[in-house]
Amino acid sequence: MLVDSHVHLDMRQFAKDRGDVIKRALSAGVEEMLGIGYDPRSIDETINLSEEYEQLYAAVGIHPHDAEKWNDDLEEKIKKALFRKKVLAVGEIGLDYYRDLSPRHIQREIFKKQIAIAVYFGKPIIVHCRESFGDVIEILKQEGAEEVGGIFHAFQGGVEEAEKIFDLGFLVGIGGTVTYKNSRLPETVERLPSSSFVLETDCPYLTPVPYRGKRNEPSYVKLVGEKVAKIKGVTLDDIERATEANYRRLLHAEKRPPASISYVIKNNLYINATNFCTNDCRFCPRRKRDRELYGYNLNLLVEPEIDEIIVSAQGLLENRDFDEIVFCGYGEPTVRLDVILEVAKALKKYGIALRLNTNGQGNMINRRDIVPRLEKYFNTVSVSLNSFSRDSYLDLCRPDAGAKAYDSVLDFLGRAAGSKMKCIATAVDFPGLDMNKCREAAEGIPGVEFYVRRYQIDPPQIPRA
């Protein structure tokens, strides 16, 4: 399901056909919209619309352009609105040093006041930030906004800005600008973990391609989702699942779903057999409490039994033809070798190619050559190499076994490449890691293909989840 986390349907641009606009949004699969009240008139109208349309919720706040209009009555109005069931957030509030329509010192003062209100009511904050990033981050920190989190709406920054935002437990809102030809946003989106962003239109503004220059509307959030899916090499379904989960955790304080033993991304069925690993890679999401991936919770509290895994996978296999079944979670599958082989044997009969994603330490973990057993069932083995020397492996992957782990991975790669299985070595383009050297190390082993995976920055810890 699509969610448009930032709409201005109260505006005059929608006066004549608001009902049709909302119908079009529903037909496009948009099942929830967050209307943003930004001044006294807009607050009233957005709340009225949220009462009229089931799918429309509201946020209330005073935009930095109108900071000078702040008075006690307005403060009271916002506080009263926050008691309403469908008012989910405070916003949009922030600082706008681009248009400077209110004096900057007043913008800062009113921003602080509204953060305090959000924290008092336990509501997330919808942030407007234009040419004021440093001050916005500083004020959010000073005022304890981490307690409630929120969304940096219409985010257009780079990785460094995203990291600062995620440190505060805030998400970023990705809108139509991601579709613009010269936007640098796609580069940033490549690096964003799936649990860190929501989709928005900011309609009637920031219309995505191919409608750029015309009025924006919530149904176009699908175009934004499609573009993000393309950038990240997944499907629109994956982006919808992830962004809906992120939105619901923040705005509706929804709990995480139960852990997934099997899950679907793109047209692959994934098997999540363990969270245990013999490495502690610097970039691994396993280190985070969240362990979310495209809306799935991969945090296994208990390791699933063979039957549980088979039944879980079969439930998904009944309804769909998959391209591949991939044994891959946030853990090393070969620590449960007998389990994954039994599951692979049971799933082999579906005639779908099987792939094992591994850290390549299976022979060392199991104290024997496991390749002959793997090649009975698996068509492909994909090994996380992530290095080109013992030292670089020790530094980035931090193996329990120390320096000998790297030798073991190379030995495994050589044996796997000499088996019936297709053998791939992968590396995450972690900052500072020399990809050319990793490629040389991988391709120096006859029969091994090399593949680069995108490094993703650390996700935010959503405070309300």
What are the residues binding ligand SF4 (CB under 6 A)? 277, 279-281, 284, 286, 330-332, 359, 384, 397
Exposure class string for 29-50: b at 16+ Cβ within 10 A, else e? ebebbbbbbbebebbebbbebb
**Chain-centre distance of CA 174, in angstroms?**
11
State both tokens at 223.
Answer: 């175009």
Q: Of 133 and 430, which CB lies nearer to ligand SF4 in the complex structure?
A: 430
> Among all chains, which residue has been given the structure tokens 């989960």?
245
Question: How crowded is the C-beta side of 333, counted as CA atoms within 13 Å?
Answer: 29
Q: How far is the CB of 275 from ligand SF4 (least distance, A)?
A: 8
Measured from the CB atom, is 196 or 384 closer to ligand SF4? 384
Find the shortest distance in angstroms from Cβ 287 to ligand SF4.
8
Which CB, 81 or 438, lies closer to ligand SF4?
Answer: 438
Q: Of the two residues 94 and 329, which places its CB atom closer to ligand SF4 in the complex?
A: 329
Q: How far is the CB of 446 from ligand SF4 (least distance, A)?
A: 24
Pairing mode of beta strands 125-130, 150-152: parallel
Q: How far is the CB of 298 from ligand SF4 (least distance, A)?
A: 10
Q: Which residues, in sequence order, are bridge partners of residue 382?
A: 357, 424
- Would you say 117 or 425 has its CB closer to ligand SF4? 425
Comparison of 262 and 275: residue with beta carbon closer to ligand SF4: 275
Q: Which is nearer to ligand SF4, 149 or 333 (CB)?
A: 333
Phi, psi dihedrals of residue 418, rounded to the nearest 5°:
-90, 0
Peptide bond into 304 cis (omega under 30): no
Cβ proximity to ligand SF4: between 216 and 275 the closer is 275
Give the shortest CB-370-to-ligand SF4 separation in angstroms: 16
Nearest to 388 by CA among 410, 369, 366: 410
C-alpha span between 453 and 435 (Å, rounded)? 10
∠ CA 447-453-459 to the nearest 5 degrees? 155
CB-nearer residue toward ligand SF4: 124 or 329: 329
By beta-carbon proximity to ligand SF4, the closer residue of 232 and 286 is: 286
